[in-house]
Amino acid sequence: MSVLETQAQKVRDSAKKLLADATAQTVIGYADEGVDGLCVPVFITDVKDVGRLVWNRRSVPNLASYLIGRKGKTAIVAKPCDARAVVNLIVENQIKRDDVHIIGMDCPGMTDAAGAALHACETCQVNTSPVFDERIENAEVKPVSPEKRDAERGLDENLARFTKEMEKCILCFSCRQACYGCYCQTCFMDRGVPDWHPESPDMGAKMLYHLGRAMHLAGRCVECGACENACASGVDVRYLIREVTGFVKELYGYDTGLSLEDQPAMLTYQPDDREVGFLGGEAHG
């Protein structure tokens, strides 16, 4: 049996036990029922259905957002990035620690239909869950070399790259909907008063949306890549957010979703914090 299949069997065994002894009312995991081998989210509430649960390199969707608003204790099959999302949802008081049972999967990285590593997985630094109730190990999982952040560009160059990337964007907002962190009841883009959304999918609207979203995700992105996986147009949605995440790490030494005790970077202030983020503060660099 392959290491992945062993992990999958452990997921099923665990789900069976959790449901049987009523530790959890629901197990959220993956089923192999999508097009092109994509695993789709599945909610298992009955022991007799645990056979539907799978785990393979196409277990792509981030399941964390399904925890918001759920009643009863829920177990979640969590890739390390999903687990980070769960941790951050707990830190941000969207869910309670006691309501969730994290089945932390050691993750070999996910692939697309053709078997190529997904963009976010290529440079992933966290391949075991930082917080879990049980860990399902995979001895073959090895750390990847650290992601090199894009060299800083000038304003013009940055704008040119943004413009080129965003030509493909059709402003469907699926990146937002797929994002665990975009849980606002009403997104700023959907507000009627003031009316932010220009409707016409021009560069101004795209800039407003993507820059707005990048700022809202400062210190909150867990680098799961759900946004770019959701994009049907092939936009590198995450590149701006990667930059912002990089700044947050560099300025405040903060990584999202690694610890339940951490205070979110943007919700705390230390006297020695760099003031780059402040209006009228020092210039970056």
Partner 1 sequence: MSNTENPYVPLKARIQKIIQETSSPDLDVKTYRLSFEDGRSLEFMPGQFVEFSVPGIGECPFGFASSPLTKDYFEITIKRTGKVTDKIHTLKEGDFVWIRGPFGNTFPVEKFEGSDLLFVAGGLGLAPLRPFILYALDDTNRKKYGKIDMLLAARTSSDHCFAYEYDEWRAKGASVNLTIDNPEPAWKGLVGFPHNLIKDMEFDFSKLYAFLCGPPIMIKFVQGSLKEMGMPIDRLYTTLEMRMTCGVGKCGKCNIGRQYVCVDGPVFCMAELAEMPTEY
Partner 2 sequence: MADIKKETMRKLLAKLAESMTLVGPSDNGKVVEYKKTDADSVLMDDRISYKSPKEFYFPQTEKLLTFSRDEAVENTDVPPTVIFGAKPCDLEALRVMNAVFMEGRYADPFFDRHMSQNLIIGVGCLKKKPGCFCDELGLDMEFSDFCDIMLTDTGDTYKVEHLSEKGEKALAQLPETAKVTCANKRTAKKPDGDVIGLSADIEDITLFDSVNWSDLTATCQGCGMCTYICPTCHCFEFKDVSKDGCVERYRCWDSCIYPKFTLHASGHNPRASRADRYRQRVLHKYLYVKKNTGHAACTGCGRCLRSCPVGVNIKTVAKAVMEVAK
Binding site for partner 1 (CB under 8 A): 192-193, 195
193 binds, among partner 2, partner 1, none (CB under 5 to 8 A by kind): partner 1
Q: How is 161-219 classified by DSSP, letter by letter?
A: HHHHHHTT-----HHHHH-TT---SS-GGG-TTTT----S-SHHHHHHHHHHHHHHTTT
Token couple for 136: 């399902």
Q: Is 41 near partner 2 (CB under 8 A)?
A: yes
| Binding-residue total with partner 2 (CB under 8 A) | 34
Write down the residue that tokens 């606002």 correspond to.
Answer: 184
Window of 12-20, 125-133, 223-231, 247-255 that interacts with partner 2 by CB under 8 A: 223-231
Query: How does strand 100-105 pair with strand 74-78?
Result: parallel
Window of 60-68, 132-140, 148-156, 251-259 that interacts with partner 2 by CB under 8 A: 60-68
In the bound state with partner 2, the residue whose beta carbon lies nearer, of 61 and 219, is 61
Q: Is 198 near partner 2 (CB under 8 A)?
A: yes
Least distance in angstroms from the C-beta of 191 to partner 1: 11
CA separation for the pair 273, 271 (Å, rounded): 6
Choice from 163, 233, 259, 268 touching partner 2 (CB under 8 A): 233
Q: Is 232 near partner 2 (CB under 8 A)?
A: yes
In the bound state with partner 1, the residue whose beta carbon lies nearer, of 167 and 202, is 202
Least distance in angstroms from the C-beta of 226 to partner 2: 7
Token couple for 140: 């073959």
Q: Is 48 near partner 2 (CB under 8 A)?
A: no
What is the enclosing helix (H) or strand (E) of 8? helix 3-20
Least distance in angstroms from the C-beta of 143 to partner 2: 27
Q: Is 121 near partner 2 (CB under 8 A)?
A: no
183 binds, among partner 2, partner 1, none (CB under 5 to 8 A by kind): none
What is the enclosing helix (H) or strand (E) of 29? strand 26-31
The beta-carbon contacts of 108-115 under 8 Å, at least 24 apart in sequence, are 108/4, 108/57, 108/138, 108/140, 108/141, 109/57, 109/144, 110/57, 110/58, 110/59, 110/60, 110/79, 111/57, 111/58, 113/36, 113/37, 113/38, 113/58, 115/57
Window of 83-91, 191-199, 208-216, 239-247 that interacts with partner 2 by CB under 8 A: 191-199
Q: Is 72 near partner 2 (CB under 8 A)?
A: no
